[in-house]
Structure 1
Amino acid sequence: MARMPRLNLANVPQHVVQRGNNRQVTFVTRSDYVAYLEKLRYYAEEYKVQIHAFVLMTNHVHLLVTPTTEKGISQLMQSLGRYYVRYFNHVHKRTGTLWEGRYKSTLVDSENYFLLVSRYIELNPVRASIVGHPADYPWSSYQHNAVGKKIQMLIEHRTYLALGSNSEQRQGRYRFLFNSEIPEKSLAEIRDSTDKAWVLGNDKFKEQVEQLTGRRASPMPKGGDRKSKKFRDRQGGEYQRL
């Protein structure tokens, strides 16, 4: 089945994932991580994309970002990806592709899923058994969001800002969220939505996205209730968009 086209809406957060080709290593030395982050900041400013959370793993990247234009994230990822491939190939004396085709992404419901996705991103090194706690991993936004080590390129989302009236309060309440594990069901929902370009949010949010974009925000139920008016209306809408 063909992958659904990406959904891009200005001012709506997205979870973005880019992996190394065949899961090959994309970061080897400290300089690699620094080079990627420096250009991430540069292109985010150029294309007016707000960076809220990130983690750089050895063979892939997770970002939680908000574009101010519909094309912002695509422009950011294309420019950053091309630059970093040239950099990596030159430094490590290699040729050929580095990234696994196109990046993957999903729209994120700010009210109900933003902090969940932020935790999911920053807990990647823990799930991979690289560190025992996210604070021990240097290449993630946890250092800013929870520890208080300022990362200049990060722009705190309104959902994060609502955690408290000052930085110390917000960081403390954000750290508290990490005291509980993310349920397996939620992990699967995040991964599935990102991998298949569905929307990550509640039903109301998905309906709003469908109205704005004219395409489904989630997969149809298997089989569906073919006698229901909602099913018939949705099918009719799909035919009209063909």
Structure 2
Amino acid sequence: MTDDTMARRPRLLLPAVPLHIIQRGNNRNPCFAEEADYLVYLSLLQQYAAAAACQIHAYVLMTNHVHLLLSSGSANGPSVLMRRLGQHYVQYFNRRYQRTGTLWEGRFRSSLVDHERYLLVCQRYIELNPVRARMVSEPGQYRWSSFRANALGEDDPLITPHIVYEGLGRHDAERRCTYRCLFEETLSDHMLEQIRYAGNSNSPLGPESFVVETSRSLGMAPRRKYNRQPVVVGKNLPDKVL
């Protein structure tokens, strides 16, 4: 099955279930060229997330693509957000750089995320993108992500912590400390492949029970889940924070 075929699948969206969104520049071309571009995108994201009743838990803006982890009280909230955000950012970008045509690579891709065991894994995956791309050696060195807010307490009006993150400690300092500890353990190659497969195929990210439950809620046959080997959880941390 090709990526194009997978991209045409009906999008899986459920109220209150976290969603990992990926949007890439057309032909992998840059969608951010200067500092002002990142700032405009984040400003628009904040504006339209609020209007669409979406809560942003994590994000990273890479040179030619974007990752978001969000929740919404309505099933169509994420689609409304991404449509408005995409349209207005493209208008800004084309005007600024005197260009025409599309900026994004078709529809955004997404996967529903099981919050009990996969939400913080997905959050780490997102915030570690600049490290995997060898742009920085530590996630806190990258300016255009949510890591500084989630791990270091830097003020970021975009971020609304998920209840799973809130459960990491009794107060903000304890939660941030526990969250930073998660980054001491490397995400396995299998986990990276599982997250990428789910995002590229619009499939749920979670255990088989989550895949079946979400598909049943939408009246659809369960999507085939990437399952080459069992997920290996952390050795020294409670399951709920992985």
Q: For the residues of structure 1 that align with 2:219 and 2:177, how far apart are their CA atoms? A: 41
Give the gaps of 5 or more residues in structure 2.
228-242
In structure 2, C-alpha distance between the alignment counterparts of 1:145 and 1:138, rounded to whole Å: 13
Which residue is 1:162 aligned to?
167
Asked if 1:197 is matched to 2:202, the reply is yes
Alignment match, 1:70: 75
> Which structure would you say has the larger Rg?
1
Select 2:112's aligned residue among 107, 111, 125.
Answer: 107
Find the partner of 1:152 among 154, 157, 168.
157
- Name the aligned partner's letter for residue 171 of structure 1: R
- Cα distance in 2, alignment partners of residues 111 and 77 from structure 1: 25
| Residue 216 (structure 1) shift | 3.2
Matching residue within 21, 46, 56 for 2:61: 56
Structure 1 residue runs of 5 or longer lacking an equivalent are 223-242
Counterpart check, 1:128 vs 2:143: no
In structure 2, the residue matched to 1:118 is 123
**8 Å CA contact retained: 2:208, 2:225:** no
AA partner of residue 198 (structure 2): S
Counterpart Cα distance in 1 of 2:106 and 2:81 = 15
Cα offset, 1:67, TM superposition: 1.3
Q: TM-score, normalised by structure 1?
A: 0.89
Q: Could you say what secondary structure the match of 1:146 adopts?
A: helix
Bigger drift between 211-220 and 6-15 goes to: 211-220
Q: Is the 8 A contact 2:198 2:226 kept in 1?
A: no
| One-letter amino acid matched to 2:75 | E
Aligned to 1:96: 101
Pair 1:209-2:207 in alignment: no
CA RMSD of aligned residues (A): 1.4
Cα distance change on mapping 1:170 and 1:137 into 2, 3 Å:
same
User: How far does the alpha carbon of each residue in 1:7-56 deviate from its partner, in whole angstroms, 9 at most, with x for none?
Assistant: 01000000000000000000011110000000000000001001000000
- Give 1:98 shift: 0.4
Taking structure 2 as the reference length, the TM-score comes to 0.89
Aligned partner of 2:202: which letter? A
1:87 aligns with 2:98: no
Q: Any idea what SS the aligned residue of 1:66 has? A: strand
Structure 1 residues 42 and 129, CA gap change in structure 2 (3 angstroms): same
CA contact (8 A) 2:216 2:222 kept: no
Counterpart code for 1:101? G
Letter matched to residue 107 of structure 2: R
Per-residue CA deviation, residues 190-241 of structure 1 (Å, 9 max, x unaligned), is 000110011101122112112201223431799xxxxxxxxxxxxxxxxxxx
The 5 Å alignment of 1:166-181 reads 166-181=171-186
Question: Could you list the per-position Cα deviations for residues 178-197 of structure 1 after superposition, in whole angstroms to 9, with x for gaps in the alignment?
Answer: 00110000000000011001
**1:9 pairs with one of 14, 26, 33:** 14
What is the alpha-carbon distance in structure 1 between the residues aligned to residue 225 and residue 196 of structure 2? Answer: 18
Q: Identity of paired residues, percent?
A: 44
- For residues 165 and 98 of structure 1, the distance between their equivalents in structure 2, rounded to whole angstroms, comes to 43
Task: Tell which deviates more after alignment, 41-50 or 212-221.
Answer: 212-221
Give the aligned residue type for 1:67: S
State the secondary structure of the residue aligned to 1:37. helix
- Of 18, 21, 30, the match for 1:25: 30
